[in-house]
Amino acid sequence: MGAYLRSLETALRASASARDQALSTQLLQFDEPPYMPSMGDDPVRGERLRKAAEAAPLDHLVQWIWANAPDGASGCSAAKPCPGRGRALAALEPENGAAWIPAVARADDAHDVAATDDALAHMAAATQYDDKVRDLTQAWEDIVRRFPEPAASAIIPRLASGKSALATRDQEFLKSLVGMQGGSVLFSTIAVVKSCSTEGRCAADPRRSTYCAKAGRLVLDHGTTQGAVMMGAYALQSSGFATANDRERIRTAYWQIMQYTQLEHALEHNAAAARRFEPDTASDTEIGAMHEQLRRANVSLTPPAGWTYPEDPMRPVADCPR
Residue 298 gets the label, from left (phi > 0), alpha (psi -120 to 50) or beta, of left
Listed residue (226, 193, 227, 189) closest to 212, CA to CA: 193
The larger pLDDT score, comparing residue 272 to residue 95, is at 95
Quickly count helices (H) and strands (E) in the chain. 15, 0
Q: So what's the pLDDT on residue 154?
A: 41
Instruction: Please tell me whether the peptide bond between 34 and the residue prior to it is cis, using omega within 30 degrees of 0.
Output: yes
**pTM of the entire predicted model:** 0.81
DSSP string, 25-44: HHHTT--STT-----S--HH
Averaged pLDDT score across all residues of the chain: 81
Residue 11: alpha-carbon gap to chain centroid: 26
Q: So what's the pLDDT on residue 243?
A: 92
DSSP designation for 96: B
Q: What is the pLDDT of residues 165-207, one digit of tens each?
A: 444 445 555 555 655 555 567 778 888 988 887 554 554 568 8
Question: Helices marked H in 196-285 — which ranges?
Answer: 201-204, 207-222, 226-238, 244-267, 271-276
The larger pLDDT score, comparing residue 162 to residue 275, is at 275
- 52 to 21, 22, 45, 55, 97: CA distances (angstroms): 6, 6, 11, 5, 24
Q: What is the pLDDT of residues 84-97, one digit of tens each?
A: 999 999 999 999 99
Find the mean pLDDT for residues 132-152: 81
Q: So what's the pLDDT on residue 190?
A: 87
Q: What is the pLDDT of residues 59-93, one digit of tens each?
A: 999 999 999 998 888 999 999 999 999 999 999 99
Distance of alpha carbon 38 from alpha carbon 188, whole angstroms = 16
Distance of alpha carbon 69 from alpha carbon 238, whole angstroms = 26
Residues 6+ apart with CB under 8 A from 219: 97, 129, 228, 229, 231, 232, 235
